[in-house]
Structure 1
Amino acid sequence: MLITTTYHDVPSTLNPHARPVRIFVIQPSIPDYPQAKFPGWHCSFEIYQVTGPVERFAGQIASQGYVVALPSSFHEFEGPQPIPYDTEGTNRGNKYKIEKEVVAYDEDATLSIDLLCSLKNCTGRIAATGMCLGGHLVSCRAAAFDPRILSSVCFFATDIHSATLGRGSHDDTLIRVKDGDLKGKGELVMIFGKQDTHVPRAGRDLIRSTLEDADVTISFLEVQAQHAFIRDESSKGRWDAALTRSLFSFMLEVFERTVGRDLGTRVATRGDVAHVC
């Protein structure tokens, strides 16, 4: 399926006088079917904003029949251009990561999902994917706070176990999980590499046990890989194309099952009802 890429500059409600959030939209292009509608897919990625590897990964998703929205992570500090995968770029991204307010991260996700729901070619059934920083934002924050997200698949999510996201390096993500904010929400899949030095075994165990103790609907996968194993550029020798392909297929199964088809109203089996836009 052919795709097109556009963008929308969306004002922040937290700081309306600041630079708007640039949200890139990658979507299927079927000129002979102008009324076609597709599920939405909110994506949040690394500290480097929307880079080539991110756009290629999102393009593969869109070509499967999804409207994909990718907000730029650090619009408070600089423009939407990709941050280089070098030492200076990494230092810059890591600096922004702990200078940005956690509530501003949450707003970016809300604006991205709002945009998807406003598009005429989106069904309003929303899935989400995140990697690294974005894995944290999608898996345990956007999925917890926005009931429009029906399922999430997240890769090597960082800073959850250490609670060090955002200004002051002190986020409340696991506290919110323990308080039940993810219970009864959409299906969650978390994928980590066993050789990931950013999220060691103790950290993975903490994340898994906290989610399971909170009765979250989750699949937790640990694979033989390092951090950033999906990134096909400047991955420092960590890119595993075969494993990426396998997990991409796994991710598609989850989303085709949960958002790819409109099954009607979900029966409330645990006192919850799925939400759509």
Structure 2
Amino acid sequence: MIIQSHQTLISTPTGNMQTSVYRPLESGTYPTIIFYSEIFQETAPITRSAKLMAGHGFVVLVPEVFHELNPVGTVLAYDDAGKDKGNADKFSKPLEQHDSDTQSMIRFIDEQIYCSGRVGAMGVCIGGHLAFRAALNSRIEGAFCLYPTDIHSNTLPCELGNDSLSQCHIINAELCMIFGKQDPHVSRKGRELINTTMQDHNLLYSWHELNAQHAFMRDEGDRYDPAIALSCYQMAIQLFNRRLS
């Protein structure tokens, strides 16, 4: 599909959140995917991923995940300074504020005539965690979580007992969990903890451990694996077509 795009400010309890909207040009109503970025916010690779998904018949929202902590439009570079700033932001924003961001986007979705009202979540790195976290919201019907960080370690700030893994028992969405075996951010022990916990709570999910490094979806840098990335996009499209149609 040919797509169009624009940016909008979505009001949240912690301030306005700039959000990019990618959607089919043809008129109609389409299901929505909330696409959560890495710590660097909406870089060029994130934009390309969002456009790819939109071209398969989805409205894709890309929020600035750390909008409270940066000027509007901030995009961090893929360098040490960008990584340090992004990680500082990651450890400064409580998960509860990400929850309210998600609810604010759902409210926005419900107000748009081009949205069908069916909602899924997708993300990479911390965005994979945020997609998993978004599934705690009953409106999320499917979540595609690519190498999600910090789920196993409970290192993101939140109220006691409100970490994502402890709360996953309330998830009703279908989840797809994707990990790279060579990813140093989520160890084998960490992956086993997540998998076991999800099994213990009888969640509906598929689990994939691939021969890939962290950030293998990012089409910049030497960790990009285009063949594996293509297969992941196909799985994501299948999940959302199945759950959101």
Return the index of the structure with the highest Cα Rg.
Answer: 1
TM-fit CA distance, 1:75? 1.1
TM-fit CA distance, 1:82? 1.2
Letter in 2 for 1:131: V
Matched, 1:66 2:23: no
Matched, 1:88 2:81: yes
Matched, 1:28 2:28: no
CA contact (8 A) 1:163 1:171 kept: no
Gaps of 5+ in 1: 262-277
Match of 2:114 among 118, 121, 124: 121
1:114-263 superposed matches below 5 A: 114-139=107-132, 141-144=133-136, 146-166=137-157, 172-177=163-168, 180-182=169-171, 185-233=172-220, 235=221, 237-259=222-244, 261=245
For 1:248 and 1:10, locate their aligned partners in 2 and report how far apart those are by CA, in whole Å. Answer: 27
1:46-61 superposed matches below 5 A: 46-61=38-53
Query: Deviations along 1:171-190, whole A, 9 cap, x unmatched?
Result: 6112112xx212xx111110
Query: Deviations along 1:202-245, whole A, 9 cap, x unmatched?
Result: 00000000011011101011011000000001x3x110001100
Letter in 1 for 2:227: A
* Structure with more strand by fraction: 2
> SS of the residue aligned with 1:76?
helix
RMSD of aligned residue pairs (Cα, Å): 1.6
Name 1:38's counterpart in structure 2: 30
For 1:239 and 1:117, locate their aligned partners in 2 and report how far apart those are by CA, in whole Å. Answer: 35
Gaps of 5+ in 2: none
TM-fit CA distance, 1:113? 2.2
For 2:84 and 2:159, locate their aligned partners in 1 and report how far apart those are by CA, in whole Å. Answer: 17
TM-fit CA distance, 1:170? 8.7
| Moved >4 Å (runs of 4+) | 167-171
Alignment length (residue pairs)? 244
> SS of the residue aligned with 2:208?
strand
Percent sequence identity is: 36
> SS of the residue aligned with 1:11?
strand
Q: TM-score, normalised by structure 1?
A: 0.84
> SS of the residue aligned with 2:170?
coil
